[in-house]
């Protein structure tokens, strides 16, 4: 798929799954001097497709929205093939919320999808601008899905990574994901009048305000469902997942449980719930 002004090409990686939809979107921007956003998974066919899209033109920068392997694993080979500088907010674990330290003994290990080998050549900062002859990107730090997640604005278009996807809501998996930060980032992005969102997975979002509003409402609905379930009886994140997510296949319950745990940590920070036991395999929560 191609866009224009400046030229933008979306190259779909062949890594479809229950968590990636049709696959990871890699974006190649520019007419003469190119920037690549999210090279994607380490697949030979995808590397060949990206080099074909470059068609011999210089790739000067590779920008990674966040270091999950479906977005960043191809970085070393693409950088070696093009000589491009690799830019990101940080590594996979940088930007992790300090509040997660209070839950360190009760959280699962880092998610399997983290690219713990990823290190950028240079770290980006909030509001920083990157430019080429016919493009300029501005950096928006949007922690939540991952503490080091960024979105990139090209005028009124936003490359939204996994912060806002075109096919599903995002997973927020503690300790590297944080629901408090995720909601704050959603609200901050909703303050802008975007023309379109170009996500890391799924189709272009043509009505950004409606999509952002729907994601905020979805999370508030899940929060309300958790509080209602806890009003009936204390429960663990796993037990709440079984009660609340009856409408999805059980194969997706592990991912759903991560979202529930993220909500519970957020609700505990707001003194709406508390952990009644921390000696069990996982904490038991009650409504305050």
Summarised one tens digit per residue, pLDDT across range 188-215 is 999 999 999 999 999 999 999 999 999 9
pLDDT value at position 279?
A: 56
Q: How many CB atoms lie within 10 A of CB 275?
A: 18
Check: CB of residue 151 under 8 Å from CB of residue 170: no
Q: How many CB atoms lie within 10 A of CB 103?
A: 18
| Token pair 């907010």 in the structure block, residue | 89
pLDDT digits (tens, 9 = 90+) for 115-167: 999 999 999 999 999 999 999 999 999 999 999 999 999 999 999 999 999 88
Tokens in use for 140? 């928006």
pLDDT value at position 282?
A: 80
Q: What is the pTM of this model?
A: 0.94
pLDDT value at position 251?
A: 86
pLDDT digits (tens, 9 = 90+) for 234-246: 999 999 999 999 8
Cβ neighbors of 242 (< 8 A, separation 6 or more) are 253
Whether residue 175 has a cis bond before it, omega within 30° of 0: yes
Q: How high does pLDDT run on average in the chain?
A: 93
pLDDT at 265 over 60: yes
Q: Is the dihedral of CA 181, 186, 187, 193 positive or negative?
A: positive
pLDDT value at position 159?
A: 98
Whether residue 71 has a cis bond before it, omega within 30° of 0: no
Phi-psi region of 35 (alpha: psi -120 to 50; beta: other; left: phi over 0): beta
- Cα(81)–Cα(95) distance, rounded to whole angstroms? 29
Of 259, 46, 71, nearest to 150 (Cα)? 71
Tokens in use for 72? 């960043």
Q: Choose between 142 and 19: higher pLDDT.
A: 142
Check: CB of residue 63 under 8 Å from CB of residue 80: no
DSSP β-ladder status, 157-161 and 196-199: parallel
Band (286; pLDDT cuts 50, 70, 90) = very high
Band (80; pLDDT cuts 50, 70, 90) = very high
Of 31, 41, 22, nearest to 2 (Cα)? 31
Of 77-86, 122-131, 170-179, 271-280, least confident by mean pLDDT is 271-280
CA angle 79, 3, 29 (to 5 degrees): 20
What is each CA distance from 237 to 101, 194, 242, in whole angstroms?
18, 35, 9
Band (281; pLDDT cuts 50, 70, 90) = low
SS3 179: helix
pLDDT digits (tens, 9 = 90+) for 88-118: 999 999 998 888 887 877 777 666 799 999 9
pLDDT at 227 over 80: yes
Q: Where are the alpha helices (DSSP H) in 42-121?
A: 44-54, 69-72, 75-82
Residue 266 burial by Cβ neighbours in a 10 Å radius (0-12, 13-18, 19+) = buried
Q: Phi first, then psi: what are they for 20, rounded to 5°?
A: -115, 0
- Cα(83)–Cα(76) distance, rounded to whole angstroms? 10
């Amino acid at each position: 798929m191609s866009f224009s002004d400046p030229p933008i090409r979306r190259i779909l990686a062949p890594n479809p799954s229950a968590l990636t939809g049709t696959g990871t979107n890699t974006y190649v921007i520019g007419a003469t001097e190119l920037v690549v956003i999210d090279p994607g998974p380490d697949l030979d066919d995808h590397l060949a497709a990206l080099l074909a899209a470059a068609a011999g033109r210089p790739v000067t920068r590779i920008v990674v929205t966040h270091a999950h392997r479906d977005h960043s694993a191809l970085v070393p080979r693409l950088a070696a093939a093009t000589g491009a500088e690799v830019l990101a907010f940080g590594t996979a674990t940088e930007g992790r919320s300090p509040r997660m330290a209070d839950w360190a003994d009760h959280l699962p290990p880092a998610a399997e999808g983290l690219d713990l080998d990823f290190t950028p050549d240079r770290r980006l900062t909030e509001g920083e601008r990157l430019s080429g002859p016919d493009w300029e990107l501005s950096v928006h730090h949007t922690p939540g899905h991952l503490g080091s997640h960024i979105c990139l604005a090209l005028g009124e278009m936003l490359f939204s990574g996994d912060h806002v996807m075109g096919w599903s809501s995002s997973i927020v998996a503690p300790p590297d994901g944080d629901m408090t930060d995720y909601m704050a980032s959603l609200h901050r992005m909703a303050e802008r009048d975007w023309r379109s969102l170009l996500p890391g997975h799924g189709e272009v979002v043509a009505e950004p305000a409606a999509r952002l509003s729907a994601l905020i409402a979805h999370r508030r609905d899940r929060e309300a469902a958790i509080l209602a379930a806890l009003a009936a009886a204390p429960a663990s994140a796993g037990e709440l997942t079984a009660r609340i997510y009856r409408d999805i296949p059980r194969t997706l319950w592990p991912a759903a449980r991560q979202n529930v745990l993220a909500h519970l940590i957020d609700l505990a920070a707001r003194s709406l719930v508390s952990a009644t036991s921390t000696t069990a395999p996982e904490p038991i929560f009650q409504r305050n």
